[in-house]
Structure formats: structure tokens, C-alpha cells
Amino acid sequence: MEMLTSIFAISLGAILTNNFVLSQFLGICPFMGVSKKIDTALGMGAAVTFVMGIASLVTFFIQHLILEPMGLEYMQTVAFILVIASLVQFIEMFLQKSVPSLYTALGVFLPLITTNCAVLGVSINNVSYGYSLIESVVYGVTGGLGFMLAIVLFASIRERLEFADCPKSFEGIPLAMVTAGLMALAFMGFSGLQVW
Amino acid sequence: MNFGKQLKEGVITNNPVLVQILGMCPTLAVSTSLFNGLGMGICATLVLICSNVVISLLRNIIPNKVRIAAFIVIIAGFVTCIDLLLKAFVPALSESLGVFIPLIVVNCIILGRAEAFAYKNGPVVSALDGLTQGIGFTVALTILSAAREFIGAGKFGGGLIDVSNGFRIVLGGADGIQVLPEGVGASLITQPAGGFLSLGIFIAVVTFLLRKSEEKAAKKEATK
């Protein structure tokens, strides 16, 4: 029972109250770059969720089975980024061979994920929060879902903004930033949400 | 090789944050006080210079196909150095920047410069490029931090300037100068939502000014 409540609290935090993009500023680059259309935003969101889940799982083992027993915690950054980079490459090859339909759906977004700070961020946070294996994976997956929620909402707003009349200097990124600011403001409303 | 021209490009006309729109995550996340902004800027600049030099020296050895992975390993090595140095000498900064220090690895500015500049040019020019782009990042971050701190809390120099016992510059823990009376600031600006808003407005203002100066230059050309 305790396990369930902790999982529920982590999910709620990762998706709403402490959303990766809108309150922790992780994964802003794809959030700004790949949010012009809802379809691509959905694809990116799905790819990030997938990779974040697997990365949480793998980096948990790296941290607890290799780095900690050998006293190599200071190599965390190097080890994690290497593992994530090769993991992304591996997932790409695996999907291309065995699940071609998923590969074509995620295709172009997979390589971009290596430099997505949300993936490295979730792995480092898992360690610094001291999460267990299940908690880590739940945090990774729900963090990805939170990212997906934010980017899909953002893309649907941006599709309409394309035709909005605005001062010339605000066109493009500045307007998108202000929009994201208003979304973050709306998400701040969730911050009072504490079930336990 | 012209340092002045490169510097102008890095800081103004090709500023990594304000014009190239790179490195958004740290810019938004740490620009809450002058100390954090300046500290992050200097750390990223150091990593950028070192990684640019090393990548440029190794540019003929690194095979084209695995270059991204090689860049990431080199950058990660320097980030680890900075992380350890900060923990040892400026623990307050290490604490307040938290996860964003290791995340310098995936800062698009550093990887971007490695790919676009250091992999194609000699070590000296690459070091200068790293320095100027780093200064551009630091300047943008510092201005944004100071502005957010001033509007949000009515303070200046939080963490860096201590006035409780005469004027002193310290590394972390100071309250800064309370410029506006307490409670006047719009505390929203220091919140995440305010980060997006202020950066958006900052970029728009810079775009506006750059366009104005371009128009002026074009007019000058025309009247000649």
C-alpha cells in the first residue's frame, strides 16, 4: 500500500505539479523545436516517454551495480551520458529491425533525444532523490508523459498562433516563449495539489 | 582572425541565446539571481573553451561517423572537472545550480560550437570562438538574471553582494542589495512561468534592436 501511494505521488508530481518542461525547465529545446504540429509533437512525446523509461531503468543498474560498489560516483555524468547515447542508438536499431511501424512513427525524433536534457536530468534526479528501481522507472515514464502533455498542448496552441497578428519582433520564438509562460502559469495552479 | 569582430558576433549579432536560440534550459532555469546566472555563464564558458580546444586538436583523428559520441565524451569529461572543482571550492554555487551543472553536457551551445566551428578550425581560433560565444552566453544570462531578480524581488546581486556588514563580494549566501522596498516586486517573475515570459520579451527586444540597426545600416548604404 505504501508503495502504491508513493508511486501515485511521484506520478502526480512528474505530470502536473512538477512538470518537467513547465516547472523544471528540462527538455526546452525539443519543446520549442518540435512543437509546430500536433502530430510531430505526439511522436516526440512518445519517443521521449519511451527513452526516459528505459534510461531510468538502465541508469539505475549502472549507478547501483557499477558506480557505487566501485566508488566511481564522480563519473556519473560521463557514464550516464554515454549510456544514454548508446541506448538511444541501440533502441533505434532495434526498432528499425523488429518494430518497423513504431520506428517510422518515432524515426526522426529518436536521435534528437540524446541531447534532450530531460533524459539525463531524470537519471540524475533518480539518484539524488534516492528512488528505488520501481520508483525510478515510474518517475521516468510519468516524467515523459508530463513532457508529452505539455508539448501536445503547446503544439495545439502554436498551430493557431501561426495566423495570429502580432508585433514583428515577437514573431516565432519570443511569442512561443510568452505562450509557454502563460501555460506554466496555468500549471502553477496545480502546485497546491497535495494528496498526502 | 579578428578578435573584435568575433567578440561582436558572439555577444550581439550571433548571440548563442538571443539570436541562435540555443541553451534554453539553463538560461531559463538558473536566471533567478545574479550569482546563479554569472556562475552558470562562467562554468559553461570554461567548458566551452576547453572542449573547443581539445576537439579542434583531435579534429583530424576523430572519424566523421562517431564524432558526436566523441564530442559528448570530451565535453562530459570537462563538465565532470568543473563539477568537482565547484563542489570543492564554491559549494554554494554547486548547491544552487544543482542538476544543471551535469546538464552542461547536453547544452546545445557547446555541442553546436564543437560541430559547427571547432571540428573545422585550428585550436587557437577555436579557443577564441569558445571564449566569445561563452561571453555572449554569460552576458545574456547575467542581464536576464539581474532583470528577473530586480523585477521579481526588488534586489540586486543576490548571493554575490553582501551589505549586512559593509560592502563585500562573497561567493554565495548573501542577500544582495534591496533596491526596491520589500514586497514591491512581482514575485511571479522569479517563478518558472516568469522565466518564460521574461526570456520571450528579452529575445523580442533584442530582435527589435537588431532589426533597427540593420535597417539603419541599409539606409546608410542606400544614401551612399
> Are A82 and B73 a contacting pair at CB < 8 A?
yes
User: Is the predicted pLDDT of residue B41 greater than 80, yes or no?
Assistant: yes
pTM: 0.86
Q: Residue B166: what pLDDT?
A: 66
Question: Choosing among B66, B82, B103, which should be mutated to test the A contact, i.e. which has the most A CBs within 10 A?
Answer: B103
Does the structure's ipTM exceed the value 0.90?
no
**Distance between B105 CA and the closest CA of chain A, angstroms:** 8
* A132-155: pLDDT as tens digits: 999 999 999 999 999 999 999 999
**Distance between A2 CA and the closest CA of chain B, angstroms:** 28
* A166 Rama class: left (phi>0) / alpha (psi -120 to 50) / beta: beta
Please tell me the distance from the alpha carbon of residue A74 to that of residue A71, in angstroms, as a whole number: 8
Q: Residue A29: what pLDDT?
A: 80
Q: Which residues of chain A have pLDDT under 50?
A: none
B124/A contact by beta carbon, under 8 A: no
**Which positions ≥6 away from B117 have C-beta within 8 Å?**
B52, B126, B129
* B111-163: pLDDT as tens digits: 888 888 898 889 999 999 999 999 999 999 999 998 888 888 887 777 777 76
> Are A173 and B203 a contacting pair at CB < 8 A?
yes
- Alpha helices, DSSP H, located in chain B: 3-8, 24-30, 34-57, 67-89, 91-97, 108-113, 123-153, 192-223
Radius of gyration of chain B (CA): 19
| Chain B residue with the nearest C-alpha to that of A125 | B99
